[in-house]
Chains A and B, each alone.
Chain A
Amino acid sequence: MNMASPATAASPTPLVRARDLCVSFATPRATVNAVNGVNLDLAQGESLCILGESGSGKSVTLRALMRLNPPKRTVVTGELNVANQDVMQMTQAQLSQYRGPVVSMIFQEPLSALDPVFTIGHQIAEAIVRHEGISRKAARARALSLLELVQIPSAARRLGAYPHELSGGLRQRAMIAMALSCNPRLLLADEPTTALDATVQIQILLLLRKLQRELGMGVIFVTHDIGVASEVADRVAVMYGGRVVEEAPVEILIRSPRHPYTSGLLGATVHAGTRGTRLTTIPGAPPDLAELPAGCAFAPRCTRAEPGCHKAVPPLLEVTAGHHVRCPVVCPARIQAPINV
């Protein structure tokens, strides 16, 4: 999303580099434009959080990084490089080599994302056998150490357990162990704590933060929860209508949001900065991705919208170092030079 963030600048070749990434789904009735030109940079070892409400295109963006959207109905365009590999040019066979050892994903709902009729141990070991060609027995031993890594108590016994026999928190830990099984360089997490109890959520987040630091992975989180974002992320990108509307280091974004949508989102959430103030709401509903407005997608709901907002999609501009906003009202284009893509 920006080329000037400090972490990116330090590393000559970023782990993830996406340019003008677009994803659309062809349905019989209409074409749904879920992601409309997202730029993304992530350095090795960096943690980025994509924040947005349902239908903002955040999960679709995440899946597009693995080319995991249903192949028949999905059109993905743009540039996408992960770990110096051109993901857009990959064949199905190359993709299956890429998924696992280079990039892996933690899904939102571990109960439905784990196969109910295979044991946890089998499901972790099969990925290791697939990618490293080691024996089943050795893979099982690795699976055991992975379960210990994600702090599952009495791990040896859990290896033979089926998903339904574990609690929600343990299931998500097993899911994390599975995602880590082939030592990925990039870990994607699609709302990893949404399906969990509040007390378990924070444990999982702390575990993920710890693992990310220990293993030096790049991590991209998707969430609608600003609390989660502030817990785990270095940088936050706010998405709306399939575009990034604001992006900044996490402290800056929470302390001084610029985009009206981000302000609205923060005003509607309970967090440290809202103590003592009344929660606000954003009027209206998210846009229909099949019929996006010509201008800013948020303009129809925006209290500060000007006539120009409805005409053309505003560019993403840098307001201060590492803080980018896509809003002509709070950040007029004549003051700031647009960032080239």
Chain B
Amino acid sequence: MLEYTLKRIAYTIPIGLAVSLVCFMLVHISPGDPIDSIVPPDTPTEVIEQIRAEYGLDRPLPVQYGLWLSRALQGDFGESISKGRPIGPDLWVATKNSLMLAAFGATLGFVIGCVLGGAAGAFRDSWIDKLCLGIALFGVSVPHYWLGMVLVIIFSVQLNLLPSMGMGPTGPWAWDWDHLRFLVLPAVTLSLIPAGLVTRTVRGLVSDIMGQDYITTLRGKGLRTSGIVLHVIKNAAPTTLAVMGLQLASLLGGSILVEAVFAWPGTGMLLNNAIFQRDLPVLQATTLVLAFFFVFLNLIVDLAQTALDPRMRRT
């Protein structure tokens, strides 16, 4: 297990490098010159060249990449072109906010998915199964920015129960209701897709596992239902965790629209603004951080799966 863990961690280095290269290149193959967006159209060429040299955009690409990566690894992502200040602190705050929202949304989705999927799988082909599957289908098919707006209309506008925008009172975040209430609607909206996916995954796993010979063996040993459930959970866990880990990672970056609907100051908002303002350094930095999270979560998922399922250790 230790050997596998070290090997698996070592694998993340080339993956991380490749990911960073793609992040870097994406920006350079996209059309449009970033300098254009910060200087007036009639700027003399010499001035443009001077600015270009200041940002290091005149050097050969491999050099630019090397410089960019070595600085990025030290937390220095350069300056935002549109705001003219270092990207690092803004990105850090946005990542923290997004991580919090994604963690809440994913946890909620995970719990809902496990409950619905477990019930559907255990009572396959009954009305419970059909109800749970219906909810899951709704979860994966409804556009979640639309659902976000509907929730705002119901809970903020009509019932006036929950706030619809932002992260609450200015100043540092605190774990009290005044702040947490701002998290409810976006987290619920965000939880819908993972809830649907996890429901379907868990349902399939549970009904498959319940049909396995070893469940008959467990019944033959006279185990109580609670004892059998333990076996079902441990058998279903590796796959469920894999689905969930990837969902959490995609929620981090995929919540752009939800963050926009709820004006949640996370990476989604940051990306959104960077795209419209053609703020390439911000775009690069944000994409890189999100991609690293993806790689990191994959690593965690792989290790957790291997810890849970002994058959995966033989490599």
Using CB atoms, name the residue of chain B closest to A66. B220
| Contact in complex: A116, B311 (CB < 8 Å) | yes
Which bracket fits the contact residues of A? 20 to 34
Q: How far apart sit A66 and B235, CA to CA, in the bound complex (Å)?
A: 25
| Contact in complex: B213, A99 (CB < 8 Å) | no
| Contact in complex: A98, B222 (CB < 8 Å) | yes
| Contact in complex: B221, A126 (CB < 8 Å) | yes
| Contact in complex: B224, A130 (CB < 8 Å) | yes
| Contact in complex: A99, B224 (CB < 8 Å) | no
CB distance from B294 to the nearest CB of A (A): 27
Q: Which residues of A lie under 8 Å from residue B179 when comparing CB positions?
A: none
Q: How far apart sit A109 and B214, CA to CA, in the bound complex (Å)?
A: 10
CB of B149 within 8 Å of the partner chain: no
CB of B45 within 8 Å of the partner chain: no
CB of B70 within 8 Å of the partner chain: no
Q: Which residues of B lie under 8 Å from residue A68 when comparing CB positions?
A: 216, 219-220
| Contact in complex: A117, B308 (CB < 8 Å) | yes
CB of B74 within 8 Å of the partner chain: no
CB of B234 within 8 Å of the partner chain: yes
Q: How far apart sit A165 and B222, CA to CA, in the bound complex (Å)?
A: 26
| Contact in complex: A113, B222 (CB < 8 Å) | no
Q: Which residues of B lie under 8 Å from residue A100 when comparing CB positions?
A: 220-222
| Contact in complex: B235, A116 (CB < 8 Å) | yes
Interface residue tally for chain B (C-beta within 8 Å): 20
CB of A97 within 8 Å of the partner chain: yes
The answer, among A105, A109, A117, for a CB contact under 8 Å with B234, is A117
Using CB atoms, name the residue of chain B closest to A104. B220
Q: Which residues of A lie under 8 Å from residue B216 when comparing CB positions?
A: 68, 107, 113
| Contact in complex: A131, B214 (CB < 8 Å) | no
Instruction: Tell me the dominant secondary structure on chain B's binding face.
Output: helix
Return the CB mask of B7-27 against A: 1 if under 8 Å, else 0. Answer: 000000000000000000000
Of residues 83 through 132 on chain A, the ones whose CB sits less than 8 Å from some CB of chain B are 95-101, 104-105, 107, 109, 112-118, 126-127, 130-131
Total of A-B residue pairs, C-beta within 8 Å = 76
| Contact in complex: A162, B310 (CB < 8 Å) | yes
Return the CB mask of B150-178 against A: 1 if under 8 Å, else 0. Answer: 00000000000000000000000000000
CB of A19 within 8 Å of the partner chain: no
CB of A164 within 8 Å of the partner chain: yes
| Contact in complex: A117, B222 (CB < 8 Å) | no
Return the CB mask of B206-248 against A: 1 if under 8 Å, else 0. Answer: 0000001110111111111001000100110000000000000
Of residues 124 through 138 on chain B, the ones whose CB sits less than 8 Å from some CB of chain A are none
CB of B309 within 8 Å of the partner chain: yes
The answer, among A104, A116, A126, A164, for a CB contact under 8 Å with B223, is A126
CB of A49 within 8 Å of the partner chain: no
| Contact in complex: B217, A107 (CB < 8 Å) | yes
| Contact in complex: A130, B221 (CB < 8 Å) | yes
CB distance from A104 to the nearest CB of B (A): 6
Answer whether A127 and B222 are a contact pair too, CB < 8 Å, given A116-B311, A117-B310.
yes
The answer, among B221, B224, B231, for a CB contact under 8 Å with A178, is B221
Q: How far apart sit A127 and B308, CA to CA, in the bound complex (Å)?
A: 22
Q: How far apart sit A182 and B219, CA to CA, in the bound complex (Å)?
A: 14
CB distance from A67 to the nearest CB of B (A): 9
| Contact in complex: B222, A96 (CB < 8 Å) | yes
Answer whether A101 and B311 are a contact pair too, CB < 8 Å, given A68-B216, A114-B217.
no
Q: Which residues of B lie under 8 Å from residue A107 when comparing CB positions?
A: 213, 216-217, 220
Q: How far apart sit A109 and B216, CA to CA, in the bound complex (Å)?
A: 12
| Contact in complex: B219, A115 (CB < 8 Å) | no
Answer whether A113 and B227 are a contact pair too, CB < 8 Å, given A96-B222, A127-B222, A162-B311.
no
Answer whether A130 and B222 are a contact pair too, CB < 8 Å, given A115-B231, A118-B234.
yes
| Contact in complex: B227, A130 (CB < 8 Å) | yes
Of residues 272 through 299 on chain B, the ones whose CB sits less than 8 Å from some CB of chain A are none
Q: Which residues of A lie under 8 Å from residue B223 when comparing CB positions?
A: 96, 126-127, 130
| Contact in complex: A115, B214 (CB < 8 Å) | yes
| Contact in complex: B235, A105 (CB < 8 Å) | no
Return the CB mask of A199-210 against B: 1 if under 8 Å, else 0. Answer: 000000000000
Answer whether A127 and B235 are a contact pair too, CB < 8 Å, given A68-B216, A113-B216.
no
Q: How far apart sit A98 and B221, CA to CA, in the bound complex (Å)?
A: 9
Using CB atoms, name the residue of chain A closest to B232. A115
The answer, among A118, A130, A131, for a CB contact under 8 Å with B231, is A118
Q: Which residues of B lie under 8 Å from residue A114 when comparing CB positions?
A: 214, 217
Q: How far apart sit A164 and B311, CA to CA, in the bound complex (Å)?
A: 7
Q: How far apart sit A112 and B217, CA to CA, in the bound complex (Å)?
A: 9
Q: Which residues of A lie under 8 Å from residue B219 when comparing CB positions?
A: 68, 96, 99
CB distance from A96 to the nearest CB of B (A): 5
Q: How far apart sit A100 and B219, CA to CA, in the bound complex (Å)?
A: 9
| Contact in complex: A105, B220 (CB < 8 Å) | yes
CB distance from B259 to the nearest CB of A (A): 38
Of residues 154 through 173 on chain A, the ones whose CB sits less than 8 Å from some CB of chain B are 162, 164-165
| Contact in complex: B310, A99 (CB < 8 Å) | no
Q: Which residues of A lie under 8 Å from residue B218 when comparing CB positions?
A: 115
| Contact in complex: B220, A99 (CB < 8 Å) | yes
Closest 7 CB pairs of A and B: A100-B222, A99-B222, A112-B213, A127-B221, A162-B310, A115-B214, A96-B222
Residues of B within 8 A of A (CB): 212-214, 216-224, 227, 231, 234-235, 308-311
Instruction: Please name 22 pairs of A and B residues whose Cβ atoms are closer than 8 Å in the assembled complex, sorted by A.
Output: A66-B220, A96-B219, A99-B222, A100-B220, A100-B222, A104-B221, A107-B213, A107-B217, A107-B220, A113-B216, A113-B217, A114-B214, A115-B218, A115-B231, A115-B235, A116-B310, A116-B311, A117-B234, A126-B221, A127-B222, A130-B224, A178-B217
A116-B214, A165-B310 given; name 19 further pairs at CB < 8 Å.
Answer: A66-B220, A68-B216, A68-B219, A68-B220, A96-B222, A96-B223, A99-B222, A100-B221, A104-B221, A107-B216, A113-B216, A113-B217, A115-B218, A116-B311, A117-B309, A127-B222, A130-B224, A162-B310, A178-B221
